[in-house]
A and B are shown apart, each in its own frame.
Chain A
Amino acid sequence: MFVYADNAATTRVSEAAVRAMLPYLGTCFGNASSLYSFGQEAKEALENARATVAGCLGAEPREIYFTSGGSESDNQAIFSAAAQGRKKGKMHIISTAFEHHAVLHTLRRLEKEGFAVTYLDVHENGVVTPEQVRDAVREDTCLVTVMFANNEIGTIQPIREIGALCRERKVLFHTDAVQAAGHLPIDVKADNIDMLSLSAHKFHGPKGVGALYVRRGVTLQNLIEGGAQERGKRAGTENVAGIVALSVALKDACDHMAENAEKVSALRDRLIEGLLRIPHSALNGDRERRLPGNVNFCFEGIEGESLLLLLDDAGICASSGSACTSGSLDPSHVLLAIGRPHEVAHGSLRLSLCEENTPEDVDHILTEVPRIVEYLRNMSPVWKDLVSGKKQFML
């Protein structure tokens, strides 16, 4: 049996998206910037895609810029806001402790350039409050950037309320919605969002293509200089096929959002209930405020990489926040941010489902995970110390 349960890492490109992109690789390969009608066909597809994406977000087409993905969108949004801030002497940014590295590393670079960044605590449940943002805003705050939903633990942030606060205090608000787009309702106007990042491969589109929504009136700075594509804000011959596929995948995801969410969250809940039966395990992140497909657990006394390898052997694709899964020595900053001790964070497992998963997939996971956890615990000196009372259980 093969179970793909790592949809937060990336998703399968849908057949509809593949079908939609093929003509722009083949018969309609023209450059969207060319004057002749053959190129203009590509241009038309590009603009239709822009209108579709805008429609999915409640934006205007001219507020959508296509990029190479979530990382680029995050970088451009944050650097743009910082550049505007610097001009006005406003060099303070508010973010959270558990953003994706595309945001965190961008902020770190700005810190080196003299910006001050406040990283809001995300509490044990992995959710920030609008009050925290309100209390952190200063006279010199130029940007608030808070992710829509966390990629590891799936917790959903109070974006609309934070947006309203930022609007009131006249501070730019960016949200990394890479995990949310196509999965949660988004209306950039009602949600008071000034800039929003999304990435096609998280909702059954292809990798290497994304979008940045920028509210009209917000100044965007180039990350990539060159030709005048994307109204001069993002140089480079457009990835027409990828962009068309992004728009088709996003439209599909938004059209079926409610039914997908219902189906996927039912699978998720069964998975969570089943895994909670493993002794000394804990769900990471708020039980209610979470993405329909996200399950993230810590199992005490074991290490995540060995769990992943044995799951792989059982045909299950998953992720872990253990240090060993990435070649670094610290476990996931997200798990540390919600207060999990290092020892426990090493034993984490993320299973992320999509509407293509089946109840049989969940059955298979629920057979394999408890078996493997027990197997690994039986050879773990840490587990033995916990059971014998030499060390105290944390979960």
Chain B
Amino acid sequence: MALYSEKVFDHFKNPRNVGEIPDADGVGEVGNAKCGDIMKMYLKIRDNVITDVKFETFGCGSAIASSSMATEMIKGKTIEEALAVSNKDVVDALDGLPAHKLHCSVLAEEAIKSAVQDYYERNGIPYDKSQFPVMEDCEHCGEHEVRMV
């Protein structure tokens, strides 16, 4: 049995939209190196439309695949459409993720939101703060351990 779906492997091995946008209009960074994954998303926005998006990710295969898929899902979309992308949408688009990897898709959703929030802040655009995730330290760290044979 394969660890991941073919879609995940494809996006992991051939990630779309990798890199940086130096003059991005919004940048979001979520995750924690201590927990093993960080996602950074760059948005170029014109007339309320995401004209370009790039990502950089430190993390496992599903973190990289989730970032890649998320960028594909929001490119060319309006901000409202991008904000409507949920972690479940990312998982479905990837043909599923193992249960213990679902947090990678959550990070992808949060990376989009965090980049949009940054865009709003930079441009003084009023927005409903309750719609955006509160960044917190990973509460799970220290509770689990790795098993290596």
- Which residues on A are within 8 Å of B, measured CB to CB? 8-10, 101, 151-152, 301-303, 305-306, 309-310, 313, 319, 321-334, 341-343, 346, 350, 379-384
Contact = CB atoms under 8 A, between A and B. Distances in A.
A306 B12 contact: yes
B59 interface: yes
A303 B36 contact: yes
B35 A381 contact: no
Given A10-B149, A152-B148, A305-B61, A329 B141 contact: yes
B142 A330 contact: yes
B142 A379 contact: no
Interface in B49-66: 56-61, 63-64
Given A9-B149, A306-B12, 6 more contacts: A303-B37, A305-B60, A324-B60, A326-B148, A331-B36, A383-B58
Nearest to B29: A381
Contacts of B58: 301-303, 380-383
A383 B145 CA distance: 25
B46 interface: no
Given A306-B64, A313-B13, A325 B57 contact: no
Interface residues of B, number: 39
B60 A321 contact: no
A322 B36 contact: yes
9 contacts: A305-B60, A306-B64, A324-B59, A329-B36, A333-B146, A342-B36, A346-B36, A381-B39, A381-B58
Contacts of A326: 146-148
B1 interface: no
B53 to A, nearest CB: 14
Rank and list the top 3 A-B pairs by shortest CB-CB distance, nearest first. Answer: A324-B60, A328-B144, A305-B60
Contacts of B101: 324
Interface in B40-95: 40, 56-61, 63-64
A16 B98 CA distance: 40
B122 interface: no
Contact of A319 (B56, B98, B148): B148
Contacts of A10: 149
Interface in B6-45: 9, 12-13, 15, 18-20, 29, 33-40
B13 A310 contact: yes
A323 B36 contact: yes
Contact of A330 (B9, B15, B98, B145): B145
Given A321-B146, A329-B143, A382 B38 contact: yes
A327 B100 contact: yes
A331 B146 contact: yes
B143 A330 contact: yes
B146 A322 contact: yes
B147 A328 contact: yes
B56 A333 contact: no
Contacts of B34: 341-343
A101 B149 CA distance: 9
